[in-house]
Structure 1
Amino acid sequence: MLAIGLVAAFMTLLDVSIVNVAIPSIQRAINANPSDLQWILSGYALTFGLMLVPAGRFGDVRGRRTVFIIGLALFTVASAAAGLAESPTWLIVARLLQGAAAGLVNPQVIGLIQQLYEGADRGRPFGLLGGTIGISTAVGPLLGGALIELGGQQEGWRWVFFVNVPVGVVTIIFGWRLLPTDPTDKQARQQNLDPFGVLLLGLGVVLLLLPLVQEQQWRGPLKWLLIPAGLAVLFGFVRWELRYRRRAEPLFDLALFRLRSYTLGTLIGLLYFAGFVAVFFLFTLFLQIGLRYTALEAGLAVTPFAVGSAITATLGGRIVNRFGRPLVAIGLATVVVSLAGVVVALHFVPGRGAPLATAAPLLLAGFGSGLVITPNQTLTLSEVPVARAGSAAGMLQTGQRIGAAAGIAGVGAIFFSALARTHGGWSRAFRDALLVTIGFVLIALVAAIVDSRTERLGTPSGDESTRRPHT
């Protein structure tokens, strides 16, 4: 059952990064303009983030197996449609559906781990899931480059999507046969799913993400007005949920944020993903466009990070219960030092030797990342009741999606501004962007240290009422 969930998580998270190296081929094959390419990349993240909390809540109430199977089937069909795309609009619609399907699947995976394992036993499966997250993000460019190399520059990009189809079909069959059956009691099935809360949360997330994912395409400052509008809608969502919980089960139980472990863990995830995802997005641009590397060569360049993350992610899951939040702080500090090493390496080796020069610090950054994602996820969800595991995981991942979009927009703005200022100085632009990324990770490190000190001083994470949120 765990293997089924990990395969599904790997597929859906892989599609966040695998498409990056295919963008030049897609542009040539279907005559996509810059705005089309932005939506092909960011539309997936937008609908992914939009679906996470409602899907998690739906799985908690109506059963995780059904939502998992429906989401995976939709993802498989949308992947086939993307591979068959003959126009930019076709591909954009397929990517939007892919993202929505990924948002259906992922909260169910975390919810199933919470359901199938208890207490300290969750460390190992969360370690495997954390390794899956890290490897899928980092190995995406390598796998994408290999598929494009095998399929040819003109049509190879289609296999980036087609590869999901056979894996998806097999996973659906085994998932239907092996995953725990859905609840049959009428009380669970008759619970209201809080449709107005779904609408408010969805609108707020879209208003927040749109100016971030379209930062390069929507010129002018007016787009940034959507962010305060989104925050206002999310404030309305909070007020609605507080009122709604007096008479029925809300979409998301805000009492979870009284748990220090959940609140700080969500913040750390948001900040870390703001830097973590942006690094690979810009590194592939730097290598493919700036240094004229092939898609496969660009993918190989980020392999050291994937290797390092794979080694420590599973280990982090095994030892997190022994070391707690300080383990996350150690991982974040390692990432900061390693990225600083990448900046130094690029200063001395700015040309085509850059991948070799950055291999060692990227490997070390991978070691650090494996000690961040898995342990942070385990600690963040450690006090969450199983009945709210899906919605809690959905909110955690929504924060990560918002962080990733904000990071790509913010760090990308610095990157492209430096690129214009230096008239094509790709290495200098990437170094400047890395400094902003280090800033995001440093703030996450401060949050981890605060949590570690509070934990050591013996301050309780939450009282009895917050450990058992409203039912």
Structure 2
Amino acid sequence: MTAQHPAPRPARPPGGNKILVVLLVPLFMSLMSVSVVNVALPAIEGGLNASSADLQWVLAGYALSFGVVLVAAGRAGDLWGRKPIFIAGILLFTVGSLASGLSVDPLMLNLSRVVTGLGSGLLNPQIIGIIQNVFHGRARGRAYGLFGTVVGLGVAIGPTLGGVILGALGPEWGWRTTFLINVPFGVLSAVLAAAWLRPPARVRSEEARRSLGALDPIGAVLLAAAVVCLMVPFILPGTWLLLAAAAVLLAAWWLWEQRMKSRFPATGRAPMVDPALFRIPSFSYSTVATAFLLGAMPGLWAVQAIVTQQGLGYSALAAGMTSLPTALAVMALSPWIGSHVHRRGPLFVVAGAVLALGAVALGMVAFHQIALGAWPFWTLALCLFPFGPAQALLMTSSQVLTMHEVPPHAAGAAGGVSQTAQRVLTATGLAAVTGAFYASLAASGTGAAPGGADVTAADAAAVAVAYGEAADTALLVVMGLLAVTLVAGVLDYIRRYRGGTLVLED
């Protein structure tokens, strides 16, 4: 690799701040659409007379439709331009949010959530592709730093905002407003995207020109079916045989993509995902690192919320305040990390993984000591706080490293693959962590939360200890997932150290 560039180009494009606003507001909306709804589920249950299965599909329908279209949407952006796909995704997301807020029964709500997830799946890969194509050098790192900030903000403020809305408007209009609040922002985002996003240059690579009519529908269907079969068993119990079907479908998809690649010179029809993408070490290592981080995070915070409220008897507000400092650290540090990632990115990943493991270990100690009554409750927030800087280091750096060596014409498909891996690991990781938690709790014979007139202080203490021990078991699974992130980061660091590429070149 030489230090010469084919042509000078500004690191930060004209109107860069406007572009970031257009990209990051819909990203925030798509994250909020998950975190806000978690708080609104009890109100939805009462307002629509929804069953537990209905409520499960409020979350699952969004997650499945989101994950299914990511790769195909990314490839469509590569071929047909990211701006129109991005705007279409915003509009679909907005329509789904409007229909969700106006739902008259659980079926309408769940179908609307599927539409919302499809819109989110269309727009998310375009965000990464546009950042990758428009920003360069330190400006790209800054953009991904702000990307991480928005992720942290969406995760942190969602439950709090949902609680405020429900408290101010009451259960009926409260849960509806958690969906309807997306509508004005969605309309505004679509208008600004149409005005501020420039269409891509008309000059495309030979592969892209010859592939404009070839989205690889067979590959798209095979991968979508595989993703569904991978995710459903972790959403609906008793469907584990679908994992075998997922393995078969993934193998069939891989063979099909290889066939499409080999026949490309004769047919001009490119595969949806070029198999060569997985031979880019930075892409593979960083995709694994990010996916397993996102496999660990939801389980960590789910256990924290369950133990805080059901095991220790604190309020939902207390549970939210415990995680808030961690999220604020993500928001504060991500921009700085983004501006330095090109010099220290590989080291940031390793440091972030080590720090995350340390934070979870401290969390295990805190849960145990608080359950025994030896430590005050606020020490939990203190012990988990290092997870915030760790998340900022990992998310921002891994995002830059994932896309660093990906050709511009494949950025959308690469972003779709990376985000699909994240969605699958999020579902499987959450199921594994919470499964370990409830298995430990069941083994202890504890099922009741402390509180109520019939519960003695001794009973409450026993429940707290059982929940604390279950949390320790679950967090061992979290640490196992984070260990994979650490291994991927270390392997990439060693590779770069040997190759003299620790400092990234744009």
For residue 201 of structure 1, what is the aligned residue in structure 2? 223
The question of whether the paired residues in 2 share the 8 Å contact of 1:22 and 1:295 is answered with: no
Q: What is the root-mean-square deviation in Å for CA atoms of aligned residues?
A: 2.3
The question of whether the paired residues in 2 share the 8 Å contact of 1:80 and 1:162 is answered with: yes
Within the alignment, does 1:256 sit opposite 2:274 as a pair? no
Three-state SS of the structure 2 residue aligned to 1:372 is helix
CA distance in 1, matches of 2:26, 2:273: 24
For residue 237 of structure 1, what is the aligned residue in structure 2? 253
CA, structure 1 residues 90+283, in 2 after alignment: closer, same or farther (shift >3 Å)? Answer: farther
Stretch deviating more after TM superposition (363-372 or 353-362):
353-362
For residue 414 of structure 1, what is the aligned residue in structure 2? 436
Opposite residue 21 of structure 1, the aligned amino acid is V
Deviation at 1:18? 2.2
Within the alignment, does 1:92 sit opposite 2:133 as a pair? no
Q: What does residue range 37-116 of structure 1 map to in structure 2 within 5 Å?
A: 37-116=55-134
Three-state SS of the structure 2 residue aligned to 1:249 is coil
CA, structure 1 residues 394+135, in 2 after alignment: closer, same or farther (shift >3 Å)? Answer: same
The question of whether the paired residues in 2 share the 8 Å contact of 1:145 and 1:299 is answered with: no
Deviation at 1:237? 0.7
Structure 1 residues 153-178: Cα deviation after superposition (integer angstroms, max 9, x where no partner) = 44422222121111111111111111
CA distance in 2, matches of 1:276, 1:253: 30
For residue 304 of structure 1, what is the aligned residue in structure 2? 325
Deviation at 1:84? 1.9
For residue 22 of structure 2, what is the aligned residue in structure 1? 4
CA distance in 2, matches of 1:27, 1:280: 23
The question of whether the paired residues in 2 share the 8 Å contact of 1:144 and 1:296 is answered with: no
CA distance in 1, matches of 2:49, 2:318: 24
The question of whether the paired residues in 2 share the 8 Å contact of 1:141 and 1:295 is answered with: no
For residue 469 of structure 1, what is the aligned residue in structure 2? none
CA distance in 1, matches of 2:339, 2:210: 34
Stretch deviating more after TM superposition (137-146 or 39-48):
137-146
The question of whether the paired residues in 2 share the 8 Å contact of 1:145 and 1:298 is answered with: no
Q: TM-score of the superposition, structure 2-length normalised? A: 0.85
Opposite residue 75 of structure 1, the aligned amino acid is F
For residue 402 of structure 1, what is the aligned residue in structure 2? 424
CA distance in 1, matches of 2:243, 2:377: 37
Q: What does residue range 230-379 of structure 1 map to in structure 2 within 5 Å?
A: 230-245=246-261, 246-247=263-264, 248-291=269-312, 293-350=314-371, 356-379=378-401
The question of whether the paired residues in 2 share the 8 Å contact of 1:291 and 1:351 is answered with: no
The question of whether the paired residues in 2 share the 8 Å contact of 1:20 and 1:284 is answered with: no
Opposite residue 443 of structure 1, the aligned amino acid is V
CA, structure 1 residues 27+426, in 2 after alignment: closer, same or farther (shift >3 Å)? Answer: farther
Of the three residues 135, 138, 152, the one matched with 1:117 is 135
The question of whether the paired residues in 2 share the 8 Å contact of 1:307 and 1:363 is answered with: no
CA distance in 1, matches of 2:350, 2:325: 22
CA, structure 1 residues 354+310, in 2 after alignment: closer, same or farther (shift >3 Å)? Answer: farther
CA, structure 1 residues 58+149, in 2 after alignment: closer, same or farther (shift >3 Å)? Answer: same
Opposite residue 280 of structure 2, the aligned amino acid is L
Deviation at 1:294? 4.8
Opposite residue 431 of structure 1, the aligned amino acid is D
Unaligned runs of at least 5 residues, structure 2: 1-18, 448-465
Q: TM-score of the superposition, structure 1-length normalised? A: 0.91
- Provide the identity percentage: 37
The question of whether the paired residues in 2 share the 8 Å contact of 1:79 and 1:164 is answered with: yes
Deviation at 1:290? 4.5
Of the three residues 416, 429, 432, the one matched with 2:470 is 429
Three-state SS of the structure 1 residue aligned to 2:371 is coil
CA distance in 1, matches of 2:306, 2:291: 23
Of the three residues 14, 29, 33, the one matched with 2:32 is 14
CA, structure 1 residues 310+354, in 2 after alignment: closer, same or farther (shift >3 Å)? Answer: farther
Deviation at 1:17? 2.2
The question of whether the paired residues in 2 share the 8 Å contact of 1:144 and 1:299 is answered with: no
Three-state SS of the structure 1 residue aligned to 2:404 is coil
Within the alignment, does 1:152 sit opposite 2:193 as a pair? no
The question of whether the paired residues in 1 share the 8 Å contact of 2:96 and 2:115 is answered with: yes
CA distance in 2, matches of 1:354, 1:163: 38
CA, structure 1 residues 11+46, in 2 after alignment: closer, same or farther (shift >3 Å)? Answer: same
For residue 383 of structure 1, what is the aligned residue in structure 2? 405
For residue 29 of structure 1, what is the aligned residue in structure 2? 47
Deviation at 1:460? 8.0
Stretch deviating more after TM superposition (376-385 or 186-195):
186-195
CA distance in 2, matches of 1:147, 1:205: 34
CA, structure 1 residues 403+331, in 2 after alignment: closer, same or farther (shift >3 Å)? Answer: same
Structure 1 residues 345-370: Cα deviation after superposition (integer angstroms, max 9, x where no partner) = 11111399975221112321111100
The question of whether the paired residues in 2 share the 8 Å contact of 1:145 and 1:297 is answered with: no
Within the alignment, does 1:130 sit opposite 2:148 as a pair? yes
Unaligned runs of at least 5 residues, structure 1: 462-471
Deviation at 1:319? 1.2
Q: Indicate the structure whose relative CO is greater, using CA pairs within 8 Å and at least 6 residues apart.
A: 1
Three-state SS of the structure 1 residue aligned to 2:214 is coil
CA, structure 1 residues 158+447, in 2 after alignment: closer, same or farther (shift >3 Å)? Answer: same
Stretch deviating more after TM superposition (34-43 or 447-456):
34-43
CA distance in 1, matches of 2:98, 2:401: 37
